A and B are shown apart, each in its own frame.
Chain A
Amino acid sequence: MADYTNMWESLGLDLKSHDALLSVLGNAYSDIFLSQKNRPEGMKYFDFVMSEVHGLRIQEIVNAKEQGRKIIGSYCVFVPEELVLAVDGVAVGLCAGAEFNFEGAETLLPRNTCSLIKSAFGFKLGKVCPYLEACDVVVGENTCDGKKKAYEILGPLVKDLYIMDLPQTKSETAKALLKDEYRKFITKLEDVSGKKVTADSLKKAIEIVNAKRMAVKRLAAIRAADPAPISGLDALLVNQVFFHDDPFRFTDSVNKLCDELELRVKNNSGVFPEGTTRVIVSGCPMAVPNWKVPLLIESSNAVIVGEESCVGERGTRWLTEVGGNTVEEMLDSIVDRYFNIDCAIFTPNPSRVGYVKEMTKNLHADGVIHYSLQFCQPYIMESGPVESELEKSGIPTLRIETDYSQEDAGQLKTRIEAFVERLKKK
């Protein structure tokens, strides 16, 4: 990696802590990812992205800023990338996947806050997330109560925190609220960028994001093959990089990876032997570098064949219809698309478990591991009914509740191994 010290310094990063973070991240990455056997060649691109995730990509973002483009950061798949691109902005997902500076976070947040929120604060207070520091606007969306209230505390710490309200039911009034919020977001984006959302710019933006999602959907479908052509860890990584990379290059790289994987499927070759126990992971998002549970699963004689998660199919499975000619019509298509997202903040939320069943069938999975972050009330609450519904449909399910620490790795390993042993007997 080139020397980015000046760039990091100008972004206001704490260089010492940042170096320490990068070194831990680098070691974890090589232990977890580079040590895997039979990896697709196409993953080399993603290895490169990860090695430059705080380097080259930030350089690109800084360059974009210098050209007058605005950097819009967010923590949620409800923030439409299409709208950001329509004002020629850069959309980035913000860091919330590592146990970093939790002591610092706990000076502002209660201890029993979920790891994802604590992580976002840990990064901010520790000044180690260059994405966050490069942002012109940070979008805080009102999803769960934890995030909602945390944004009130985050507000004074960042340059420009924009709050987007979100509905919690799937009623017509809820949909109108979402549309209204997206309309306000357009105004905000137009204000900060000095550019207008036009029918032309919005249409292009929709096409860019659709292409990106189509590539990831293609990858998801290929994973139905046995032997699995790609590990769950690598596929998760692609879904994580989705939030950080340049959209064109990302789409292109995922499609190249898919070309290679389709060949693998044709040749009946894969990363794990044919007949390896297959699981779906469903639940809370796993933001980069949260690889804890997938690593435990894939080192317990099983392969992950799908993620029903915001960093996974919940974030990517719907495309935006490209039919409209006016901004208004296209905004309707965008609202239609985002209103499908079956996040556990919605009540009731039946389509989520329905889709987990569909994934299990389509991807030939043997069982489902339901992953909740400790203190994430919406997903933990939903996990009970999801588990009983799946078990009732003959889909073995293991519920786990964990955080970013390693203290429960031993107990988790035992439970995951036992679950895999249960699946093998079938």
Chain B
Amino acid sequence: MKYAGIDIGSRTIKLAVLENGRLIFSRKSVASYNPLETAHDLMDSAEFDVITATGYGRHLVKSHLSCPVISEITAFVLGARFFPNNCRSILDIGGQDTKAILLDPDGNLCKFEMNDRCAAGTGRFLEVMAAVLGFTMEEFSTAALSANRAVKINSMCTVFAESEVVSLISQGADRDEVARGIHRAIVSRSAGLLKRIAPDGGIFFAGGVALNGCVRILLEQEMNRPVFVPPDPQIVGAIGAALKGSDD
């Protein structure tokens, strides 16, 4: 049996297929204004027997395919087990959500915290800030790492932070130092969520923002705990959904 999981996120749609407990296929696509069409394109490119949906667009797919759905939070809990690690908590920073999840000693979902409504301090925040500073995402992370100090960014709201960054630049602040400040801001917010529910142990870091080396390093420094990033941090939710299908 081939078990697929599809994770319809706000910025990317991810598909993973498992067979005999091994990942045999994975693909990602940038989400469009028509997530269902993008999801169909992805599904057409893969072979599978059953599919489980997760991500904020899960109910959309469910209404078209009548497939089972699970929340992203459970999907990340299951997906994290796929990668050998002994982390006690998961941090997922995606396009519009940040989730901190505490696992029990058996690796089950114990407690979670999630941002309430806006995309403050998520992947979308980083994207907008990179654009304001004229960086690609890769340049953005590298520039932030190269800076010796961070300029303090006070606002986590994408709209307010954008005007804050614009005014810092016009006052002659160093671009790299502003970049580092933005990275630090997102890390301290996520660390706050994590500290509230998961006081110790390794952190499994997933979602698109885990691709950002600077966030990863600053998170490790801030938490003073090991941070584990899986080989493809964006696919964890899709793998979790596929695993859910194989469990049922």
Q: Do these two chains really belong together in a complex?
A: yes
Q: Is B74 an interface residue (CB 8 A)?
A: yes
Given contacts A414-B56, A425-B108, whether A407 and B71 have CB atoms under 8 Å apart is no
Q: Is A411 an interface residue (CB 8 A)?
A: yes
Residues of B within 8 A of A418 (CB): 71-74, 109, 112
Q: Is A106 an interface residue (CB 8 A)?
A: no
User: Among A391, A402, A415, A421, which residue has its beta carbon within 8 angstroms of that of B114?
Assistant: A415
- Contact pattern, A 321-352, Cβ under 8 Å of B = 1, otherwise 0: 00000000000000000000000000000000
A390 CA to B115 CA in the complex, in Å?
Answer: 22
Q: Which residue of A lies closest to B244 (CB)?
A: A421
Cβ contact within 8 Å between B115 and A411: yes
Q: Is B70 an interface residue (CB 8 A)?
A: yes
Q: Is B117 an interface residue (CB 8 A)?
A: yes
Total A-B pairs, Cβ < 8 A: 42
Q: Is A408 an interface residue (CB 8 A)?
A: yes
A411 CA to B112 CA in the complex, in Å?
Answer: 13
Min CB distance, A391 to chain B, in Å?
A: 8
Q: Is A422 an interface residue (CB 8 A)?
A: yes
Chain A 360-406 interface residues, beta-carbon cutoff 8 Å to B:
391, 401-402
Q: Is A417 an interface residue (CB 8 A)?
A: yes
Q: Is B116 an interface residue (CB 8 A)?
A: yes
Residues of B within 8 A of A110 (CB): none
Min CB distance, A416 to chain B, in Å?
A: 9
Given contacts A425-B108, A425-B109, whether A417 and B114 have CB atoms under 8 Å apart is no
Q: Is B176 an interface residue (CB 8 A)?
A: no
A418 CA to B73 CA in the complex, in Å?
Answer: 6
Given contacts A410-B56, A411-B97, A414-B56, whether A421 and B115 have CB atoms under 8 Å apart is no
Q: Which residue of A lies closest to B56 (CB)?
A: A410
Q: Which residue of A lies closest to B57 (CB)?
A: A410
Q: Which residue of B lies closest to A420 (CB)?
A: B71
Residues of A within 8 A of B70 (CB): 417, 421
Residue with the highest number of chain A CB atoms closer than 10 Å, among B70, B73, B114, B117: B117
Cβ contact within 8 Å between A422 and B109: yes
A399 CA to B209 CA in the complex, in Å?
Answer: 26
Q: Which residue of B lies closest to A387 (CB)?
A: B111
A290 CA to B244 CA in the complex, in Å?
Answer: 34
Residues of B within 8 A of A417 (CB): 70-71
27 of the cross-chain contacts (CB-CB < 8 Å) are A391-B111, A401-B116, A402-B116, A408-B116, A408-B117, A410-B56, A411-B97, A411-B115, A411-B117, A413-B59, A414-B56, A414-B71, A414-B72, A414-B73, A414-B114, A415-B112, A415-B114, A417-B71, A418-B71, A418-B73, A418-B74, A418-B109, A421-B74, A421-B109, A422-B109, A422-B110, A425-B108
Chain B residues within 8 Å of A, Cβ to Cβ: 56, 59, 70-74, 97, 108-112, 114-117
Chain A residues within 8 Å of B, Cβ to Cβ: 391, 401-402, 407-408, 410-411, 413-415, 417-418, 421-422, 425
